[in-house]
Every structure is written in C-alpha cells, then in structure tokens.
Structure 1
Amino acid sequence: MAPTYYESDHVAPFLPQQSIFDYLLPSHPGVSPLPDWDPSLPAFIDASDGRTLSRADLRENALRLKTGLNALGVKRGNVACLWGMNSLEYVQAVYGCLAAGVVVSPANVAYSPEELAHQINNSGASVVFIQPALLPLLDKARAHIKHKIDPAHVILLRATQDKELAAAGIKTIYEVYGTPAAEAEHFDGSDSLETAWLCYSSGTTGLPKGVMTTHWNLTSQLQVSNVAYETLQSGPGGDVVMGSVPMSHIYGVTLSLLQPFSMGVPVVILPKFEEIAALEAIQKYKITHLLLVPPLFLLFVHSKNLDKYDLSSVRTAMSGAAPLSRELSEAFLARIPTAVALQGYGMTETTPNICTMNRSEAAGRDGWVGRLVPSYQARLVSPDTGLDVAPGEPGELWVRGPSVMKGYHNNPEATAATMAPGGWLKTGDVLVRDEHGWYKVVDRLKELIKYKGFQVPPAELEALLIQHPHVADAGVVGVWNDAQVTEMPRAYIVPHESLKIATEGEAASFAAHVQRFVHDKVAQHKKLRGGLVILDAIPKSPSGKILRKDLRTRAGKETEPVWGATRDRESKL
C-alpha cells in the first residue's frame, strides 16, 4: 500500500537555529525562546551534601571553563570525553564544553579500558574529564589509544585536589577555570547543524557507534518535548527532579541535564541509583518527578524499605530506555499511590524522544509510550514487504524530523544501513498505533523470536514472567533447535530473594512451576520450548536494557542447567 504519514496532533513550536548554550543560557534578552528564568533559581543540587548550583553559578562557571580550556589549547570543534558518575562537577564540565564549542562525548562509567579506548579513538577526543577513581583504568586504556593525550588535558571531576595527583600535574576542573569569557561560542543558522554531543550507542550488538547529535537536534528536541512532555512547574513549591539516570546516556542528557533546566526546575543529583540514597533524597528534597528505567520500577515494587520514608511528594515517574509493561506499572503505582507512571519512547539517534505523554493523559494508558512529539513524521513499515502496514497493524517505526541525528561518526556504512531515502530513520523497533494516535512498542525487530514462522516478542514473555510472585526479573531470547529447524523461546529468570533454592531438585521444581505459569497464559507458539535457566542477575546495560547478546552467548555455551527444554520432537504446531 502507499506510504501512510503520521504526524503529531500537538501544535508545533518554533524551532530556533542556535547553540544549545545560547538556547539555555542566552547572553542577551530575546536570544532564546525560553522564559527569562530568575538567575538565582537552583539548577542542580548534590543529594549527598546539599551543595547547590544556581543558574547564575552555572553560567559563570561555564564561561570560566571556556577560558581555561582555551588556555590549554582546546578549541571550538575539539572533542572532550567525559568519564564519571553524575556529579556537580560533571554538570559543570558539560556546560563549560558547550560554552567553548567543544563536542561533549560522554563515556559509560562501566567501560573497560578497551571500550574506553575505542570511544576515544573513534571520537578523536583530545580532552578527558574523569572521575579520580577511574584514573587507573585510563592508564590501562592508553596502550590502546592511538593518539597522545596531553597530561594537562586530563581533568579531574572532583571538588578537592589530591597531593599525589597534583604532583603529577593533573588538575581538578576548578583549577582549570580562568576568568569568565565575555561570550560563549555561537552556532547560529547553518552552524547549528554542527555536532554538539557524541553519545555512543549502548552496544547491545557490536561495538558502540558514535551518534552525531547537533545543536539543532537538541534545541528542537527541548522545544517539542516542552510541548508534549510533562509540564514541570518552576519556583517555590514547584517540581524537583531526581537525577539518578546516567548523564552519559541520552536519556540522562536530555531529561536530566537539559530539559528541567529549560523549564527553570532543579535537579537533585545522585551519582547513581542506590535504593536508600534515592529514598532519602526523595524525602529530604521533596522530589516530585522521578526519571527511571524499568529495572528501577521493579526495585521499588520489591523494596522492603519503601514504607520507612515519606514519598508523598512524588507526582510522576517517567520510564525510559526500555519498555515498561502494564503489569509492572500497576505494581509500582500500588506502592507509590500519589504517583502517575509516564512512559516515553525514543533512541539515542533521535535525541531521544519520539513519543511521550503527560500526567493529564496517562490514565488507562499503561503499557503505551504516548503520542508523537511535534515536528516528527512517522511511518509503520512491514519488515517483510518494505511496504507500509494497514492502520492498527504492527510495523517497524520509521521517523524523520529535526531531532534525527546527523549520522554515525566515522561510520558511513552504519549510517546508510539505518537511514532510508527521504531522511527516514529506521528505528529497528516494532510498534503499533491505535486510532487515537497512541503508540505501543511490540518489540525490537532484531530481537523477535521466530518459532516456525510465528513471531514471539521477548518483551511480552518478560512482562508475563515478572508477574509471577517468585520471579524478581527475567530475560527471554531465542535459542536454535537443529532437530526442529527453528528458534525456541528460552527464559532466564532471577528468583525473588525470599525464595531459597538450595538443591537441584528445588531448582527443577521451581522452573517447572514457572513454565506452567507461562504456558497456561500464552499461545502455543509462545511457550518456553527453549527451557528455563535460573540466574543471579539478568545482564543489562546502565540504561536498563536487557543485553540479549549476553544471554545468547550463555545459551551458546550452555554452562547452566536448562530446565524443561524441548528436545528432538515437539507438538504439531
């Protein structure tokens, strides 16, 4: 059938062509379309000690870092790698790089030396802002880095200096500060198409790829998100955001580092999500808006500490980076009844939001990811025929718009494989759209299991498995069966901590019970014919995505007992 183009029913806002720094912290009135927020408003708060950066502090420090970087020979267009957990120093490094026109390339704090070296080599980073604890790993990475990094270009993300590091000539970010520059670098008009951010994809398959995100991608994303996303209120008694998602991930970049700031709302920073620290922060700072991933929703559901804290300030909890099932959403809301669970959908390549929702429209929409944000056009395309599917049918989501990346850095082949003629980005995700313009993720195209020609979405089985009272977490992949010449669904599950499995017999009994639980609720082709494996933890990326390649590797090695797998012959289906 002919292409069907879907568009947002939100009113499209003005999309300025300017730097992300000028958009957020303009030097003159009338430069940015944003409100002229009070410079004394708190912008970022350290959850552990209460240190606070006001909007004025952040602007001044950014311009001071620009001067300091320029004095080191770092110029507009250079790339800085940021490697560390969330912190006030991390935030200031980001905004200082933006003021200097330096491309921000955040690295996953869990990287090995080889993985860090890959990102530095691919991005060409000449500056590294680093958490001190990671310095030994950077030293190991140097053997794999193809260009020299000046020791003066290694800058510590910490408030105080260490004598030994000072003797080695390594400075803290504060020691690099100069006098405030008169102006930040500007990227007006066509210059706004220059790269501002270089996030690396999570690498669920292959080496991570650098996603070139431009200034216009970012300003456009913030403008449209502020129309379609939850409207946060600034000022006393207003909203407070919990910033625990990694700022190295596009989810943290947009919805923690940038979007609340654009709305005059403070972010309480946690280095990473830890249950007690998060609960204490919610209570102490009266946090209203949580940024979470599905595994953290699950943690709240199973928490034994929740009732010890006052969480009544929480109004909304946003889920991103991976699908949130209706069942998990409902279980979360039962634990925090003042909250409304929101869900969005996007990817690094789209900066990230494609679909989102707000509190007023979320009721009855558990499991859905919202409506298109303004400025996007979308299509749903059959992966089998390459043609657009009929309304109401699932298809691969293709999108185009001003927040779609410029391409993959130094990887034209990957760019060409992801982009279709006409500027369409092929998301690789299968979604369905209802008659009201709401979208639901069916599954990841490359992760769909094909059992004898039938498609089995792993996410559907995972959502079902965690409904079992004794299953804390689950991941599902397809495993190949030579005898039947087909893939079969296999579940990897983590038993709830209250369940003590001491013997092989107990494990086999538990696995059989879970299999029956699933088999009674699914169609024939979705049964766990690939068996069930009990693990201590499901491998996941920092953003909460299940690392199915790791599960498939496990399946290939078959080092763990597999319970209830089909052998040579099976049912007629």
Structure 2
Amino acid sequence: MVSIVEYVFDQAERTPDTAALLSEGQTTTYAELVGQAGRLGCALLSVAPPGGHQVVGIAAETSLSAHAGILSIWAAGAAYTPLNPHHPLSRRLELVERAGVDTLIVGPEALNDLDAFLSQAPRPLTLLLPELEHQTALRAAHPKHRLLFAPDLPPAPLPHAWRYVDPQALAYLLFTSGSTGTPKGVPITHANVGAYLEHARQAWPLQPGERVSRTFELTFDLSVHDLLTAWSSGATLVPLTRRDRLSPGRFILEHQLTRFFCVPTLAAAMARHGQLPPGGLGTLKSVLFCGEALPMGVARAFARAAPRAELFNLYGPTEATIAICARQLTPELLNQGEGSAPLGEPFAGHEAVVVDQEGQPQPTGEPGELWLRGPQVFAGYWKDDARSAEALAPGAFYRTGDRVVRDERGELRFVGRLDTQLKVRGHRIEPAEVEAALARALGHAQVACLPFPSEPRAADHLVALIAHPTELSPSAEQALRQRLLAELPAYMVPERLLALPTLPQNSNGKLDRRALALYLNTLRE
C-alpha cells in the first residue's frame, strides 16, 4: 500500500506548478506546499524530544500552516491533533495535556490569544510559527517556551527517504464529545487512513485541476478526506472559512468548484435560503454528504441544483476512519419517497452486521445495533481501557451505538441511537458533557440538554432546560452562555436556555427526557 505521504509527494513531482491550495485568495502550488512541509518537517525533527514526537498540535485552520503542517507532521513520523483556534482556550489547553503535546504548529488564525495560551500552558512547549516573522517581545514574555519563527526554519528540502511512514504509526488523534463529560480520544493509524484512501480514490476519482471544497474544520475527520483525495489526484483544495459557510452556494460558483462535500444540515440550510436553484450549481461533477442522516428531500433539491453531478451518501463514525459505507443517490432512488437516504453497504474488506442485545444477527427488517469490522476500524480509545472495552466487541467489532435496519433490498437504513448521543450540524455531541458544564455554571445538576428539532441525528441546535423558579433574565442568560463558551466549542453551547420550575422524572426517579422532548415539540406548534 502506498503511504498517504507518498501519494502527495509523488503528485507534487508530477504537477509542481499546479495549484494545490486556494485559501482566502492565496494560491499555493504543489511545489510550494511540499517545500513548506519539508521545512516544517526538518524543524520538527530538529526539536524532537527523546524518542521523537508522538502527537504534534495544529493550532491553525485554513492557512498554509494548517495544510503544510499536517504533511510535515506525517513526514516527521508523528501524528497531529487539531486545536481549533475558535474553541475555548481552556479546552485547547486540556487537549494539549490529554494528547501529551510538546510541540505545536501555529498559524495566523491562532495569534489572537496566543499570549494567554502560552501564559496558561502548564509546561514548556515548542512552537513553530511559519507565517510569522521574529516577535522579540513575544519570545521575551515567555522564556520557558521555545518559539521558532519563519526565519528560524531550516531551508533544507524533505529527503526522499522521509516518504516512508510505518502503517501502524498514528496518523491523527481527534477528540469527540464524551458521555462522562470528558472528550474521548480517537487514535487513527496510517493503515486505517490508507485503507480508506485506497477505496475513496476508486469510488470518487478526481482529475488534475479539479477544485474541491473543504467545508469541515480539522477537528472533523471528514476534512482528511478532502485533503487526501484532492492532493493525491492533482486537484486544488479550496477551504471555506466560517464566513464562507454562510453562503456556500455563492462560494461554489465564485470558485468554480467541481466537488462539494458537506453535512446534510448545511445542504438543508442552502435549500432554505434559496441557494439551490434548479441548474444553479452547474460546475459540480460530484456531491458527497456525510455526518448525519440525509433527508431525501434535501438530496433531491441538490440534484436539481447540480444536474451534472453524481450524488453519494456516506456513513461512518470517527472510530471507523472517515466513512465506511456509501450509497450512490441515483435518479431512481431519489424518486422513491421521503425519509432519509440509505447508508449503503460497507467498503470491500469490511463487515457491517446488525445485531440484537445479545450480539446475535438480526433478520432483514428487524432493527438492531450496527457493528463494524475491517482495516479502517480503530483499535481503542486513547489511553482509556475502560471505554475501549465498552466500545469493542469480541472479534474486533466496533459497537457504533447506531440503531439501523436492513431493508428488503439489503440496504442499511438509520433508525436512531441506542444512547443519548446527538448530531448537531454534523458534530457528534454527548449531552452529558454539555450538562456537566451547565451544572458547574449554575451550581446545581438539575439541567437537561436536548436537540431541536427532536431528530437526534439531524438537529439544528441544542436547547437547555434548567430547573429555576422564574424565567432567566436576558442578562442572566447572556452571562450563562458566556460561561459555557469559555468551556465548550460554540456548536456545543445551547442556542436557547429555558427555565422550568422542575424537570420531570420517570418512575425510577431519573430525568424523563421523553417528556421534555414532547414539551419542546409543543413549542414548535
């Protein structure tokens, strides 16, 4: 199997002057991308601790530092963990500790609170700042940290021998919302990613010069699909900023994108805001959806807007490396009715079985939990044996927690969750983590967090319900929201905070989430 690093470096030799990245008006060729990755890779090796790096932080999002940084980390034999500059400082510092990060690559997006980050970091760190000239004052203010600016980076190119990467080495470490209130670390190896890329390049081929979207933040593993499918094919990656994601239809046209990949919630928002006029997205050749249930009505609207494009619905948890099932949305399928699109079948070499509570296979038409097995499936959570034991079944199967059914055509269809996990605009959220932050902010545990609308895998936002004798004043609500934003990413902060005198309980004295969901539904009527 060709390593994911070698795919990109070989492509750079074939098309050195082709645009590899177009970000916020700045074009980077393949030669420039690989050159910057080489300099950063040399710098990483020069500052490696004894035993080498294991996990390097990426404090960047759409800049060259983010994209070349990932390649450099892989070439230096390490893995990356993204530290989203828009997430709370406390959360980023927590992930630095959880991942054991000693070195970070920092882009211009992370400069706003860099001084505070360095001041609060609990131990010395090495920072590579490839897009920043010498900052004497910053270096003097933080003598315990080692800061390397653009002039400090070695000019040496990346040796050819660095292209080999151990397949069993870690490629990236992502942290997802955790049911205990602590994020779960999902380690994915180069072998996992290589197995996915081998399938993706055949299933959704790209031609040199095509333009590919990147709607996903680096904390979302679907971003890895965009990077590697584009750069292993000579295509141009075009990331969307947060501002661009407000008008993706206009972005597609302005940048003449040929492939668009997004969560269904973004596609639904495009439909609501008139960004999917029939025939309006004629440059698109392929459209991919993943991350949550895809309503058939949304898929049909996109098909009408992009009549030249092939549409696909992908499915896969982070633990199974990006996506592990897919279904092409043919015209015949799109005309079959409402509901959500089928998940398709697992990729070659993988297994997907629907089982009952005893782990026994369910017959066609009977819902059960989806278990996955194959070369893309991870080996267990980061330094968490207890959670790993819960998630992995005998025979190296991963228990997804997703409730599915195999229909009469043999296709998998999503039914719901076996637990309380939610999907909001494609982000995986454990309500317990949000509720723990609410309880800390309020000083009591009588809180609940629910999706709205009530579909747990395609919610638009979160609603918090709080036991409180009176309605919260606007100032109190704003203060509470600010407390939450200091701990949680914005997508995990409830958009509405509703006060009730008491929260309902079931016969066992536990929080009655069903009653609360029914209450929220009355607010829609």
Give the TM-score category using the shorter length.
Answer: 0.7 to 0.9
Taking the aligned partners of 1:289 and 1:348, their CA distance within structure 2 comes to: 22
Selected match of 2:316 from 346, 365, 389: 346
Q: Which residue of 2 aligns with 1:374?
A: 348
Corresponding letter in the other structure for 2:354 = L
Q: Which residue of 2 aligns with 1:531?
A: none
The aligned runs of 1:151-162 (5 Å cut-off) are 153-156=126-129, 158=131
Taking the aligned partners of 1:240 and 1:265, their CA distance within structure 2 comes to: 6
- Residue 247 of structure 1 pairs with residue 207 of structure 2: no
CA deviation vs aligned residue, 1:499-551 (integer Å, no higher than 9, x gap) = xxxxxxxxxxxxxxxxxxxxxxxxxxxxxxxxxxxxx9xx99xxx9985x959
Aligned residues: 449
Cα 1:172–1:37 shift into 2, 3 Å: same
Q: Which residue of 2 aligns with 1:530?
A: none
Selected match of 1:285 from 252, 255, 261: 255
The aligned runs of 1:109-258 (5 Å cut-off) are 109-135=85-111, 137-141=113-117, 145-149=121-125, 153-156=126-129, 158=131, 165=138, 170-172=147-149, 175-185=152-162, 191-203=166-178, 206-227=181-202, 229-232=203-206, 234-236=207-209, 239-253=210-224, 255-258=225-228
Corresponding letter in the other structure for 1:374 = A
- Residue 388 of structure 1 pairs with residue 365 of structure 2: no
The alpha-carbon deviation at position 407 of structure 1 amounts to 1.9
Larger relative contact order, structure 1 or 2 (CA cutoff 8 Å, min sep 6): 1
Does the 8 Å contact 2:342/2:413 carry over to 1?
A: yes
Of 45-54 and 87-96, deviating more is 45-54
Corresponding letter in the other structure for 1:367 = A
Selected match of 1:269 from 232, 239, 258: 239
Aligned sequence identity (%) = 24
Cα 1:291–1:272 shift into 2, 3 Å: farther
Q: Which residue of 1 aligns with 2:445?
A: none
CA deviation vs aligned residue, 1:470-498 (integer Å, no higher than 9, x gap) = xxxxx9x99xxxxxxxxx9987359xxxx
Taking the aligned partners of 1:68 and 1:372, their CA distance within structure 2 comes to: 40
Secondary structure of 2:194's match? helix
Q: Which residue of 2 aligns with 1:314?
A: 284
Selected match of 1:92 from 64, 68, 71: 68
Taking the aligned partners of 1:557 and 1:38, their CA distance within structure 2 comes to: 67
Taking the aligned partners of 1:545 and 1:431, their CA distance within structure 2 comes to: 30
TM-score (ref. length: structure 1): 0.68
Does the 8 Å contact 2:84/2:218 carry over to 1?
A: no
Secondary structure of 1:441's match? strand
Taking the aligned partners of 2:409 and 2:155, their CA distance within structure 1 comes to: 54
Q: Which residue of 1 aligns with 2:452?
A: 492
The aligned runs of 1:535-554 (5 Å cut-off) are none
Does the 8 Å contact 1:132/1:158 carry over to 2?
A: yes
The alpha-carbon deviation at position 284 of structure 1 amounts to 3.2
Does the 8 Å contact 1:211/1:407 carry over to 2?
A: yes
Corresponding letter in the other structure for 2:353 = R
Selected match of 1:67 from 42, 50, 55: 42
Corresponding letter in the other structure for 2:59 = W
Q: Which residue of 2 aligns with 1:444?
A: 417
Corresponding letter in the other structure for 1:181 = L
Does the 8 Å contact 1:117/1:142 carry over to 2?
A: no
Q: Which residue of 1 aligns with 2:6?
A: 22
Does the 8 Å contact 2:279/2:306 carry over to 1?
A: no
The alpha-carbon deviation at position 325 of structure 1 amounts to 1.4
Does the 8 Å contact 1:88/1:269 carry over to 2?
A: no
Please list every run of 5 or more consecutive structure 1 residues that lacks an aligned counterpart in the other structure: 1-15, 27-34, 449-457, 464-474, 479-487, 495-535, 567-573
The alpha-carbon deviation at position 311 of structure 1 amounts to 2.8
Does the 8 Å contact 2:19/2:27 carry over to 1?
A: no
Of 349-358 and 159-168, deviating more is 159-168
Does the 8 Å contact 2:282/2:305 carry over to 1?
A: no
Cα 1:565–1:278 shift into 2, 3 Å: closer
Corresponding letter in the other structure for 1:241 = V
The aligned runs of 1:421-436 (5 Å cut-off) are 421-436=394-409
Corresponding letter in the other structure for 1:376 = H
TM-score (ref. length: structure 2): 0.73
The alpha-carbon deviation at position 252 of structure 1 amounts to 0.6
Does the 8 Å contact 1:283/1:309 carry over to 2?
A: no
Does the 8 Å contact 1:301/1:335 carry over to 2?
A: no
Cα 1:217–1:490 shift into 2, 3 Å: closer
Does the 8 Å contact 2:185/2:382 carry over to 1?
A: yes
Does the 8 Å contact 1:195/1:213 carry over to 2?
A: yes
Coordinate RMSD, CA, aligned:
4.1
Taking the aligned partners of 1:489 and 1:208, their CA distance within structure 2 comes to: 17
Cα 1:422–1:491 shift into 2, 3 Å: closer
Please list every run of 5 or more consecutive structure 2 residues that lacks an aligned counterpart in the other structure: 433-447, 455-480, 504-515, 521-525
